[in-house]
A and B are shown apart, each in its own frame.
Chain A
Amino acid sequence: MSGTIIKVEGIGKRYRIHHQRTERYTALRDVITDKVAGIFRPKRRDVAEEPTVEDFWALRGVSFDVRRGEVLGIIGRNGAGKSTLLKILSRITEPTEGRVELTGRVASLLEVGTGFHPELTGRENIYLNGAILGMTRAEIKRKFDEIVDFAQVDQFLDTPIKRYSSGMYVRLAFAVAAHMEPEILVIDEVLAVGDAGFQKKCLGKIGEVSNEGRTVLFVSHNMLAVTSLCNRAALIDQGRLIASGPSSTVVSNYLKQVATAASAVRDQIWNDPLSAPGNDRIRLHRIRVVADAKDPGQEFTLSTPIAIEIDYWNAVSDTKLFVNLVLYSIDGTEILEDWSVDDWSGKALPQGLLKTICRMPGSLLNEGTYRIRIIFFDSDAVRMLYDHQEAAVFSISDIGERTVNWHGKFIGFVHPKLHWTTHLVQATASSVAPGP
């Protein structure tokens, strides 16, 4: 019953970074030029030199075992190699070295709604998505009512999902995935979407799945979810497994690490548009959290207005986008979310380096350490262009600006300056003597 179900032995994944290639497909032109030139000058072999190649190990020397029925949380910063690990375990990509043994059927959920087609109806997409996730038609048919029930989309079943709200879309997508019955379930951060109530439902479903004796591997930035759902956690940093054990220990380990690095995470710059975090659409150049005051570098106190500056390259001209900012406490609780509504809203952005600034007033957040997540959305399709989980981390300290005789920490994540008044309604004589 409690045997090892996943055995990972020293796996590594190497990516080759081609520095000279700016676009992927220039290579063929080079190859052809080389070949044609080769016909006329058979002796010159060096016509098209190999572009400089640099090896990058996204993951290296990672080993761990997972026992049947265990829920393992995988934590770590953006780009630590968590997703690569999940991709190897789900056989999407091959490891460069090492060996994995999986005893049982694996289902992976690396993205919500993979393969959903906007033109197809909810009903059709349930079947399509189920098949993509590896379910048989009979299985889907059997689970169909449960899926619809879980997703709460029964009256829209025969509507093309392009007319669905993003909430309905996510609910439907998760519902299909949640009703797979694999021995091993691999989930990547998919719960970061959807409303809080639905997230709770999803987390509940994961708990349920593990109670049925199935094994779950779960990547998340939500530390509360990790500590409450997972027996064990593994911390990955720069492609290596640096801690694994009881989830509460590993999580506090991670939080300490993040908090120490917090001051450094207020300003991050990537100068090379090719290797900066991002993708074909968006590349980050700089994310800076500064005081919106005379001295931008000052420590943040309760009253400091804060500006979050996001510099990014837009690679595709005429992109309409908005920047979505989500603020989390350091343990992953969501605090607030806002979209960029400014002069450029709904307008086509030119290609190039852009700067979006979000200003937060002072006297809003309570003391504490906070994490910012930046998501770029396509404003037409409400499609995620790029999601940067750990965009910045900053701390706010209470230096006693509010003159009260209380030196402990106030409760909660916000501490706005509420307007208080007290006045005398009616003066009474020296002793209060109500009654007739």
Chain B
Amino acid sequence: MTSKMSASSMTLVIEPGLAARNYWLDLWRYRELLYFLAWRDITVRYRQTAIGVVWALLRPALTMLVFVGFRKMTGLPSGGGPEPILVFAAVLPWQFFSTALSESSGSLIGNDKLISKVYFPRLIVPLASVITSLVDFAITLGLLVALMVWYRYAPSWTIVALPLFTVLAFALSLGLGLFLSALNVEYRDFRYIVPFVVQFGLFVSPIAFRTTDVPQRWRDIMAFNPMTGIIDGFRWAILRGNPPLDLSALALSVVVTGAFLILGIWYFRRTERGFADVI
């Protein structure tokens, strides 16, 4: 009797395991919610703390100063450009990655009310967090531009590759963020692991040093850290192609990033239908 009606495009069927069917279409339909969630986080962040913007500037600036000092003390070889720019080119993607990861991994827990009371594709929540972190990234980028003006350091054509590496950093943050945010719902003690990962990553990624400062045999291991390829890429793009790109390491970074993104989406999609029941 109602079979004719269900043939209409308006009919929505709810069945166990069926949530997957219109997922990506739904994600598109809810794009405005994505916008509003990101807008909410940004507004609240910069309204609540009067020093919001100052803080966003101070953090990368201080990190940069410490690493420049560290490089001076350890006598790491310089070259390619002014020291602060050399370090800042790495702090920029790292800061974005670490902020995006911390914010997105806790995002589902932070929005538990929403998840237990309203339907929407849950992917929006961590995605909005990563997008929010892009605002901090933009502020840090502004600081880098100011530094380059100060040092009268003009970039070369390689700068056009910067958006590409930004996309790569975004994909990596999103992939890991999705994975960790979903894990966080079920295992709440994951929130203790994320800060450790971020702190650990700061030391094993080429931020204070360049990959080329490291003996070859260590570089191969370092290449498995997807942030290595991304940071090297940022340096290459900002510092006039110096040091030159290690294409095989970059390829590995792209592969690992892709793998994390797929893993993140897969695990998130697999667990999200249960979020409302356990959150």
Contacts and interface: CB of A to CB of B under 8 A. Distances in A.
Nearest to B6: A101
B199 interface: no
Nearest to B279: A24
A87 B111 CA distance: 17
Interface in A90-107: 90-106
Interface string A137-157: 100000000000000000000
B2 A94 contact: no
Nearest to A160: B47
B40 A128 contact: yes
A114 B114 contact: yes
A5 to B, nearest CB: 9
Contacts of A96: 16
Contacts of B276: 87, 92-93
Given A25-B189, A31-B187, A114-B114, A99 B5 contact: no
Interface stretch (A119-127, A332-340, A428-436): A119-127
A110 B187 CA distance: 26
A127 B32 CA distance: 10
Interface in B257-279: 273-274, 276-278
B12 to A, nearest CB: 4
Given A101-B2, A104-B10, A132-B114, A137 B32 contact: yes
Interface residues of B, number: 45
Contacts of A105: 10
Contact of B33 (A15, A100, A131): A131
Given A29-B189, A110-B117, A131 B16 contact: no
Contacts of A87: 276
A115 B13 contact: no
B216 interface: no
B187 A91 contact: no
B189 A108 contact: no
B116 interface: yes
Interface string B12-23: 111111110000
B15 A25 contact: no
A110 B5 CA distance: 27
A133 interface: yes
A136 to B, nearest CB: 6
A114 B118 contact: yes
B186 interface: yes
A131 to B, nearest CB: 4
Contact of B187 (A25, A95, A117, A136): A25
A120 B40 contact: yes
Contacts of B120: 132, 134
A330 B229 CA distance: 69
Contacts of B116: 92
A23 B189 CA distance: 11
A97 B19 CA distance: 13
Nearest to A106: B12
B182 to A, nearest CB: 13
A91 B276 CA distance: 10
B188 interface: yes
Please provide the 5 A-B residue pairs with the shortest distance between their CB atoms, ordered closest to farther.
A28-B187, A25-B188, A100-B14, A91-B119, A131-B36
Interface of A: 3-4, 7, 15, 23-25, 27-29, 31, 87-106, 108, 110-111, 114-115, 117, 119-120, 124, 127-128, 131-134, 136-137, 183
11 contacts: A3-B5, A24-B187, A28-B190, A91-B14, A92-B115, A95-B14, A95-B15, A99-B15, A101-B14, A102-B11, A137-B32
